[in-house]
């Protein structure tokens, strides 16, 4: 009786190096009938490599040779931790360790970088809860760099809520380049005290927020309505601003179950954002239960679950389905 030939295991490899030719030769030499190391692509930019990581089971990358795009080098470095990887020099010196790790095949980042603004018209509907829960759930599930940026009027509710008394304020971070932000459950936190932030020039704040975006895969904004600094969020090309604003990918406009005022306000806000063509706008009703679905308040909006206490990863996961469909 003849043995059936073993099915070849294909190990997809991402390349981001000037030594691609030599690496390809080494991969070909290591491939045989049982294992084929297949190059899925060669990237010259950080964005390109980040995309390739979605398909790759290992990577040979010289980070400093990549041209920096939307995904910053630091964020890419962290995303790369999810995939067995080596520099071209290390790989070419001894390919064995990496090739073995490639067979063990870890899952890579299937999450494009996103900026999400959680906002509302009426207060107390759960904006902060949803923003924090999303960041918490995303970080727990992916270990990817995640940030929450607060845009508040008065003293930072975020700092109070999470007892992050030692965390530097967004104002301090913008004005002192050597200062490091605080962390909560692995999420980078940028609390804003409104009266300090008022002293920042739009160009300063916009530039800093774009750096924050580049350093994280998911950036969630906890945005108070009509915030005086919200001009820094106008998408590029729509205004004559003398700076490049932070582009928001998805607006989550919240209302709260049983609060008709909040639903009316959210409807108006969402309509305004849509009219301005400011990216994807999703209306969500928070803390919904079956009654809402029955009485029809939730017919035009999508429900988020009521949870025992906030922040709560379950609340975050449901909200994330609107950002990364199919992943949560």
Ligand X SMILES: Nc1ncnc2c1ncn2[C@@H]1O[C@H](COP(=O)(O)OP(=O)(O)OP(=O)(O)O)[C@@H](O)[C@H]1O
Q: Which residues bind Mg ion (CB under 5 A)?
A: 127-128
Segment lying near ligand X (by CB under 6 A), choices 44-52, 122-130, 198-206, 239-247: 122-130
Q: Strand 187-190 to strand 182-184: parallel, antiparallel, or no bridges (unpaired)?
A: antiparallel
188 membership: H or E segment, kind and range: strand 187-190
Q: Residue written as tokens 């939730």? A: 298
Nearest-approach distance from CB 204 to ligand X, in angstroms: 25
121 binds ligand X (CB under 6 A): no
Q: Which two tokens stand for residue 328?
A: 């949560």
C-alpha atoms less than 13 angstroms from C-alpha of 156 in its C-beta half-sphere: 26
Q: Decide whether 18 or 123 has the Cβ nearer to ligand X.
A: 123
253 binds ligand X (CB under 6 A): no
Nearest-approach distance from CB 142 to ligand X, in angstroms: 22
Count of CB atoms situated within 10 Å of the CB of 40? 19
Q: Decide whether 188 or 257 has the Cβ nearer to ligand X.
A: 257
What x/- string results for residues 79 through 118 when contact with ligand X is judged by CB under 6 A? ----------------------------------------
Give every strand in the sheet of 250-256, ordered side by side. Answer: 182-184, 187-190, 146-151, 218-223, 114-120, 250-256, 280-288, 302-305
Task: State the Cα–Cα distance between residues 28 and 30, nearest whole angstrom.
Answer: 5
Nearest-approach distance from CB 218 to ligand X, in angstroms: 18
Give every strand in the sheet of 58-61, ordered side by side. Answer: 35-42, 9-16, 58-61, 85-86
What x/- string results for residues 258 through 297 when contact with ligand X is judged by CB under 6 A? ----------------------------xx----------
Say which entry of ligand X, Mg ion, none residue 79 contacts (CB below 5 to 8 A, set by partner kind).
none
Query: Exposed, middle or buried by CB within 10 Å (0-12, 13-18, 19+), for 235?
Result: middle
191 binds ligand X (CB under 6 A): no
Q: Residue written as tokens 């190391």? A: 37
307 binds ligand X (CB under 6 A): yes
Nearest-approach distance from CB 269 to Mg ion, in angstroms: 15
Among 212, 304, 320, 323, binds ligand X (CB under 6 A): 304
In DSSP terms, 85 is beta-bridged to: 59
Nearest-approach distance from CB 284 to Mg ion, in angstroms: 15
Say which entry of Mg ion, ligand X, none residue 136 contacts (CB below 5 to 8 A, set by partner kind).
none
Residues near ligand X, by CB under 6 A: 120, 123-129, 157, 286-287, 304, 306-307, 310, 315
């Amino acid at each position: 009786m003849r043995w059936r030939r073993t099915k070849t295991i294909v190990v997809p490899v991402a390349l981001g190096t000037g030594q691609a030719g030599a690496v390809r030769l080494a991969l070909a030499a290591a491939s045989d009938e049982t294992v084929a190391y297949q190059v899925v692509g060669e990237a010259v930019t950080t964005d390109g490599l980040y995309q390739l990581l979605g398909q790759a089971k290992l990577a040979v990358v010289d980070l400093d040779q990549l041209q920096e795009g939307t995904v910053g080098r630091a964020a890419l470095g962290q995303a790369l931790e999810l995939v067995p990887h080596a520099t071209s020099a290390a790989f070419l010196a001894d390919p064995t360790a990496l090739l073995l790790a490639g067979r063990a095949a870890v899952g890579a980042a299937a999450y494009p970088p996103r900026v999400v603004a959680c906002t509302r018209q009426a207060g107390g509907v759960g904006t902060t809860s949803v923003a924090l829960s999303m960041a918490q759930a995303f970080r727990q599930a992916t270990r990817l760099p995640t940030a929450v940026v607060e845009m508040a009027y008065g003293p930072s509710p975020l700092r109070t809520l999470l007892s992050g008394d030692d965390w530097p304020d967004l104002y301090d971070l913008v004005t002192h380049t050597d200062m490091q932000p605080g962390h909560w459950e692995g999420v980078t936190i940028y609390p804003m005290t409104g009266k300090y932030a008022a002293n920042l020039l739009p160009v300063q704040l916009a530039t800093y927020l774009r750096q924050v975006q580049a350093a994280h895969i998911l950036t969630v904004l906890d945005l108070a309505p009509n915030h005086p600094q919200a001009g820094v969020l106008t998408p590029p090309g729509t205004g004559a601003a003398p700076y490049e604003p932070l582009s928001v990918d998805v607006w989550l406009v919240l209302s709260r179950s049983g609060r008709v005022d909040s639903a009316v306000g959210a409807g108006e806000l969402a309509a305004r954002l849509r009219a301005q063509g400011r990216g994807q706008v999703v209306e969500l009703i928070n803390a919904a239960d079956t009654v809402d679905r029955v009485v029809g308040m939730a017919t035009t909006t999508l429900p988020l679950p009521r949870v025992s206490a906030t922040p709560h990863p379950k609340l975050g996961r449901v909200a994330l389905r609107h950002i990364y469909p199919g992943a949560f």
